[in-house]
Amino acid sequence: MGRPLKILLDSVILIDHFNGVAAATAYLHRVRNMAAISVVTRAEVLTGFTPPNEALARPVIDTFSVLTLDREAADLAAQLRREHRWKLPDAFQAALAQIHKLQLATRNVKDFPPEKFSFVTVPYGL
């Protein structure tokens, strides 16, 4: 049995890994047993690959549990979007992190400044 989930990976962390950012790769290795992705992250990451190259991404993203969206997540995302003027994918990420009591690992400090949002962690810088 794996360790309990503690981290929700934002798309940018996986995108950095696929773009060869060593800090992202090292971070993913450190947290792989306690991290999950959302259906939003899965879709955003796969969007960046052409169908023949998608096979490169799938083994990596398939190692993480996938959190799905439900009514509770949709309702909270709508509230968060209104309050913070976030794009809907960002609001879904925040909602899932809060519902599942996870830290959202991201480099998106424009929308998620960690000093303002205690559920946000910035695992590395560029």
Q: What is the CATH number of the domain that holds 14?
A: 3.40.50.1010
- Distance, in Å, from the CA atom of 73 to the CA atom of 25, rounded to the nearest integer, reads 29
Q: Quote the number of domains for the chain.
A: 1
Does any domain span residue 15? yes
3-class SS of residue 75: helix
Q: How confident is the model at residue 2, as a pLDDT?
A: 57
The residue segments making up the domain with residue 46 are: 7-121
Q: How confident is the model at residue 52, as a pLDDT?
A: 86
- Distance, in Å, from the CA atom of 55 to the CA atom of 32, rounded to the nearest integer, reads 19
At residue 93, what is the residue type?
Q
pTM score, whole prediction: 0.94
Does any domain span residue 1? no
Task: Note whether 14 and 38 are within 8 A (CB).
Answer: no
Per-position pLDDT tens, the chain of length 126: 456 899 999 999 999 999 999 999 999 999 999 999 999 999 999 999 998 899 989 999 999 999 999 999 999 999 999 999 999 999 999 999 999 999 999 999 999 999 999 999 999 998
